[in-house]
């Protein structure tokens, strides 16, 4: 680490976890070499589908028929029937003209921005958008302007201020922010985009499956100025990979011009088949999202009852704002010692002074776990 200058308390350590015998358990090997079970309060496997037998069987079956890996990009020879089926099914589910698959959401976001922004674009993005979107904006050559999180008057100020400078305006938001757990005021943002003739990209990574009309996200049924909806299969779908949903023209532009789409090995057929099976489950279980949101509300209220720290989150992502990085790490260690894996989120992921313990509520958790968690949290000193 001689050439990397990172403060000691910001150095991240990789660790390996195995899955435990219950859907809410992860296992680690402790310092004494013994297996230790931890309750997973941090993964994005919101419905536990990564460990669902039918979803796993669908992936397994597809591997036998279509191969484990795709072997090349979609353009060369990596495209399999399961890719086409998944694209069509997602397009139908979200009522969008076209869907394109990607091996990861990080790449999908880069491709989305590359399709809509260039040196002549002013990209006005919420302060809390995901790093993949920032990377995409930088790669596009567009000029990045940030507006305060979910702040409509700041967004309007920026739209007014920068409009005359260059030719096109692109606004980028998430529907459910991964760190704040906050929902975007989408209808009002749409009005502003229309008023200033700006295009809109919305990343629905954390909302899909849970939020909106039967889990179809906040952007379902909303068209102009939304140009691209980004979704991932690595969260509520319990698989991996991602997609962009858009109109035919935008889709064709991505296919013909996007390097993030073109120069990468296509999504594994097994992951596509797993995602397809998860989609079926999410469609068949219309109230999973609604029930998870109600359960999450309960988590938030119960946590609030036992801590003086501020507790935020509109949906299933809940953050306990501690402030100091060291104190947040202490809480993470304390929780882990008591059997809960909830991760300290620190700068540069979030601003200095806003370090937090982030909790993701999942369908696999239960009331007893909630009770145990709050009783442990109550005793944190």
Ligand X SMILES: Cc1ncc(COP(=O)(O)O)c(C=O)c1O
C-beta closer to ligand X: residue 105 or 209: 105
Question: Do residues 360 and 41 touch, judged by C-beta distance below 8 A?
Answer: yes
C-beta closer to ligand X: residue 136 or 369: 136
202 — phi, psi (to 5°)? -125, 125
Q: What is the largest CA-CA distance in the chain?
A: 64
The nearest distance, CB 134 to ligand X, in angstroms, is 11
C-beta closer to ligand X: residue 180 or 354: 180
What whole-number distance in Å separates Cα of residue 215 and Cα of residue 212?
5
Q: Which residues contact 107 (CB under 8 A, 6 or more apart)?
A: 132, 242, 260, 261, 264
C-beta closer to ligand X: residue 193 or 205: 205
What whole-number distance in Å separates Cα of residue 56 and Cα of residue 271?
9
C-beta closer to ligand X: residue 52 or 174: 174
What whole-number distance in Å separates Cα of residue 4 and Cα of residue 17?
27
C-beta closer to ligand X: residue 62 or 107: 107
Q: Which residues contact 364 (CB under 8 A, 6 or more apart)?
A: 22, 23, 24, 40, 45, 47, 48
Lookup result for tokens 């409009």: 163
Outline where 263-366 has alpha helix (H).
269-284, 288-306, 325-337
By beta-carbon distance, which residue lies closest to ligand X? 105
C-beta closer to ligand X: residue 70 or 377: 70
Asked if residue 225 has a cis previous peptide bond (ω within 30° of 0), the answer is yes
Nearest to 10 by CA among 340, 322, 344: 344
Q: Which residues contact 219 (CB under 8 A, 6 or more apart)?
A: 175, 186, 202, 204, 212, 226, 229
The nearest distance, CB 156 to ligand X, in angstroms, is 24
What whole-number distance in Å separates Cα of residue 171 and Cα of residue 177?
15
The nearest distance, CB 309 to ligand X, in angstroms, is 23
> Coil, helix or strand for 294?
helix
Contacts with ligand X, residue ranges (CB under 6 A):
104-106, 109, 130, 132, 174, 178, 203, 205-206, 232, 234, 242
C-beta closer to ligand X: residue 50 or 109: 109
C-beta closer to ligand X: residue 168 or 264: 264
Bridge partners (DSSP) listed for residue 145: 124
C-beta closer to ligand X: residue 242 or 273: 242
The nearest distance, CB 296 to ligand X, in angstroms, is 17
DSSP code for 30: -
The nearest distance, CB 126 to ligand X, in angstroms, is 11
Q: Which residues contact 379 (CB under 8 A, 6 or more apart)?
A: none
Structure tokens at 215: 């889990």
CB burial readout 184-202, b (16+ within 10 A) else e = bbbeebbebbeebebbbbb
> Coil, helix or strand for 308?
coil
């Amino acid at each position: 680490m001689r050439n990397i200058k990172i403060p000691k308390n910001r150095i991240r350590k990789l660790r390996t976890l195995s899955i435990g015998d219950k859907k809410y358990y992860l296992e680690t090997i402790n310092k004494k070499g013994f297996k230790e079970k931890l309750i997973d309060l941090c993964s994005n496997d919101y419905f536990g589908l990564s460990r669902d037998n039918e979803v796993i069987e669908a992936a397994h079956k597809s591997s036998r028929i279509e191969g484990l890996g795709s072997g090349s990009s979609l353009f060369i020879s990596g495209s399999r029937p399961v890719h086409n089926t998944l694209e069509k099914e997602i397009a139908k589910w979200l009522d969008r003209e076209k869907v394109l698959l990607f091996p990861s959401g990080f790449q999908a976001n880069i491709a989305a921005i590359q399709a809509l922004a260039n040196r002549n674009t002013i990209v006005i993005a919420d302060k809390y958008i995901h790093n993949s979107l920032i990377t995409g904006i930088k790669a596009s050559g567009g000029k990045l302007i940030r507006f305060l999180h979910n702040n409509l008057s700041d967004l309007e100020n920026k739209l007014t201020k920068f409009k005359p400078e260059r030719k096109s305006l692109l606004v980028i938001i998430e529907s459910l922010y991964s760190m704040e757990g906050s929902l975007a005021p989408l209808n009002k943002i749409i009005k502003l985009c229309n008023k200033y003739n700006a295009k809109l990209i919305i990343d629905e990574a954390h909302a899909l499956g849970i939020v909106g009309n039967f889990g179809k996200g906040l952007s379902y049924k909303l068209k102009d100025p939304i140009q691209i909806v980004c979704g991932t299969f690595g969260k509520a779908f319990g698989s991996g990979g991602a997609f962009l949903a858009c109109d035919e023209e935008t889709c064709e532009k991505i296919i013909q011009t996007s390097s993030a789409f073109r120069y990468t090995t296509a999504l594994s057929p097994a992951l596509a088949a797993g995602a397809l099976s998860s989609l079926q489950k999410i469609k068949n279980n219309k109230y999973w999202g609604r029930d998870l949101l109600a359960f999450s509300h309960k988590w938030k209220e119960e946590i609030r009852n036992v801590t003086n720290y501020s507790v935020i989150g509109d949906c299933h992502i809940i953050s306990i704002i501690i402030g100091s990085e060291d104190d947040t790490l202490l809480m993470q260690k304390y929780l882990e010692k008591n059997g809960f894996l909830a991760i300290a989120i620190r700068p540069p992921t979030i601003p200095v002074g806003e370090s937090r313990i982030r909790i993701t509520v999942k369908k696999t958790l239960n009331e007893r776990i909630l009770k145990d968690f709050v009783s442990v949290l109550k005793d944190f000193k």
